[in-house]
């Protein structure tokens, strides 16, 4: 967003095809244009018949085209050799107008519908603009860009990296009606729980790290959103009083005082499976009903671990299930299996 200039905007997400060939466009003159590799085709009868135009002569092929909304004789093409090409005779001939990049494809071209002299071209390096029909060009956005949409005096670019957006939906018991549905955050979700009042608590990750979010029962308000830096939560459960317990793995957890394990044991030196270890460690944390951190602890050995499952019993004890490569994982006395197998998991089992 910091690279936008004037009133040009960047949209956060959209699906982008990297290879839009063949690429089809219907102009305001009811003609349909198509580029198949480097060959321009035109139809004036809705696609029943096609007339071949010029070979665009791009190496190896063209990626996108745009037709002047006020003059169908003017056709612009973006090509994989980094060039923008232009035809002023309805696609019969083309000339190279500019080279936007010597090392990247020109992925897209778009025309301002209110001013056809303003044209935008996109590459992996950014978006360039001409306001004089291609005579001069300037960079208006720096960064990977693979598709463009032009509105009057405004261009939207899509970089092909589509961040997932977490949603929350509530359905009736028969699964026949959506009671509510909403977007939440950009990132991923791994677990969900509902408290005694019907409030919904979800956990997952966003750009900052682990996140725990609580939404009111009727989806009318956000009750809290807490970020747990350095963590990736995988499971969540709710106590009767509304506290949320989270389990997952962490690379840099800030443990609270008095908990079971305030830090991992140290460097992995005892694993008989040479080279096998995890770069993170299992953790458990508790947030109060308002989202404030109450407790946070590691539960791990020196060769890493991860927690994936979580359950609470009626006494409030938390049960974690996960995986570890640590022969010094904290195993209790008289455990059902107290010895680290030291072999491939497929070859070992409790006995």
Query: Topology of 165-330 in CATH?
Result: Methylamine Dehydrogenase; Chain H (2.130.10)
Judge whether 9-158 and 165-330 match in fold. yes
| Predicted pLDDT at 43 | 78
- Among candidate residues 142, 189, 151, 146, the one with its CA nearest the CA of residue 169: 189
Residue 308 has pLDDT above 60, yes or no: yes
Strand, helix or coil for residue 346? helix
Predicted TM-score (pTM) of this structure? 0.58
Residue 350 has pLDDT above 50, yes or no: no
Per-residue model confidence as pLDDT tens digits over 314-347: 999 999 999 999 999 999 998 998 888 765 544 4
Tell me the Ramachandran region of residue 294: left when phi exceeds 0, alpha when psi lies from -120 to 50, beta otherwise. Answer: alpha
| Predicted pLDDT at 30 | 58
User: Both tokens of residue 126?
Assistant: 């950014």
Q: CA–CA separation, 2 vs 199, rounded Å?
A: 37
Per-residue model confidence as pLDDT tens digits over 262-302: 999 988 876 565 557 889 999 999 999 999 999 999 999 99
342 burial level (CB within 10 Å; 0-12, 13-18, 19+): exposed
Any idea where the domains of the chain sit in the sequence?
A: 9-158, 165-330
Q: CA–CA separation, 126 vs 159, rounded Å?
A: 9
Pick 9-158's CATH classification: 3.30.360.10, 2.60.40.1080, 2.130.10.10, 3.40.50.300: 2.130.10.10
Of 343 and 178, the structure prediction assigns the larger pLDDT to 178
């Amino acid at each position: 967003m910091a690279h936008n200039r004037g009133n040009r905007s960047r949209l956060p997400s959209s699906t982008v095809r990297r290879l839009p060939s063949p690429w089809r466009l219907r102009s305001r003159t009811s003609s349909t244009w198509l580029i198949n590799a480097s060959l321009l085709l035109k139809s004036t009868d809705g696609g029943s018949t096609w007339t071949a135009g010029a070979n665009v002569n791009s190496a190896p092929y063209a990626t996108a085209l745009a037709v002047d909304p006020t003059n169908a004789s003017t056709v612009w093409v973006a090509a994989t050799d980094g060039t923008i090409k232009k035809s002023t005779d309805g696609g019969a001939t083309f000339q190279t107008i500019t080279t936007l990049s010597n090392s990247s494809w020109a992925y897209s071209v778009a025309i301002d519908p209110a001013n056809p002299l303003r044209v935008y071209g996109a590459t992996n390096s950014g978006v360039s603009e001409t306001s004089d029909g291609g005579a001069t060009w300037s960079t208006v956005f720096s960064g990977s860009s693979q598709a463009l949409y032009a509105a009057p005096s405004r261009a939207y670019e899509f970089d092909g990296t589509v961040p997932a957006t977490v949603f929350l939906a509530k359905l009736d018991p028969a699964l026949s009606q959506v009671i509510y549905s909403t977007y939440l955050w950009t990132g991923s979700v791994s677990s969900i729980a509902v408290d005694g009042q019907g409030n919904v608590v979800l956990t997952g990750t966003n750009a900052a790290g682990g996140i725990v979010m609580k939404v009111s029962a009727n989806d009318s308000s956000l009750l809290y959103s807490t970020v747990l830096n350095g963590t990736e939560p995988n499971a969540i459960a709710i106590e009767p009083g509304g506290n949320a317990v989270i389990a997952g793995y962490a690379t840099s957890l800030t443990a609270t005082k008095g908990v079971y394990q305030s830090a991992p044991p140290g460097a992995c030196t005892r694993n008989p499976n040479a080279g096998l270890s995890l770069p993170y460690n299992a953790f458990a944390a508790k947030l109060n009903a308002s989202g404030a951190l109450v407790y946070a602890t590691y539960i791990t050995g020196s060769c890493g671990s991860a927690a994936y499952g979580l359950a609470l019993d009626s006494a409030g004890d938390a049960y974690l299930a996960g995986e570890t490569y640590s022969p010094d994982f904290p195993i209790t006395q008289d455990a059902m299996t107290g010895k680290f197998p030291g072999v491939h998991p497929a070859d070992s089992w409790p006995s």
